[in-house]
Each structure stands twice: as C-alpha cells, then as structure tokens.
Amino acid sequence: MVKASKGIMEGSRQKLRRRARQRGLSPITRALQTFEVGDRATIVIDGSLQKGWPHHRFHGLTGTVVERRGRAYVLDIRFGGKIKKAIVLPEHLRRA
C-alpha cells in the first residue's frame, strides 16, 4: 500500500468541489470586492482559483478583517477557543 498523503489538500475532496451549475470560472466582481478593517467576512473557498486559499479547516467560518496585506486580507477567526489569523484573497470571501 501507498502511504496516505498528509499535505495541505488532505481531506478536502468534497469540501472544495463545486456544484454542477457553478462550475467554471467565478465572476470577476468577486475578485474586485473590497473590505474595510472591522468588517465581518465568511471564508468560502472557491475551488476554481487555487491562489490565496486559506487552509481548508477555515472553510465556512466567519471572522473579522484585521488588516490588508497586498491584495489579501487578514482575518481573525475564533477556532477551538483561540483566535487564529487567516490570510485570504478576496475571491474566497463573502460578506457576513
């Protein structure tokens, strides 16, 4: 048997799959959306764009925008009793 993969994509096959009518590239307006510091945003990883993904454990979680880092945003997310930081491109964010 082959050793099981333990990479960053491990266990994300169903989570990052897109529904039949949502396949293909996402609208450009999603990449152009802006957030201000203090805004709440939900991380919804877009499987059609592989850059700027946070770890898939943050998929579906909501956090607060703390800062902007280049094109990306840094979010504070409550996770397991702690506050963690996730760096995410705007293509993978939705307004909460």
Model pLDDT for residues 71-86, shown as the tens digit of each residue: 999 999 999 999 999 9
Model pLDDT for residues 24-79, shown as the tens digit of each residue: 999 999 999 999 999 999 999 998 988 889 999 999 999 999 999 999 999 999 99
pTM: predicted TM-score of the whole model, two decimal places: 0.88
Residue 54 near residue 45 (C-beta atoms within 8 A) = yes
CATH of domain 37-95: 2.30.30.70
48 Cβ contact partners less than 8 Å away, ≥ 6 residues apart: 18, 23, 24, 25, 26
- The one-letter code for the residue type at 78 is R
Domain ranges of the chain: 37-95
CA distances from residue 70 to 22, 52, 53, 80, 88 in whole angstroms, order as listed: 28, 11, 15, 28, 11
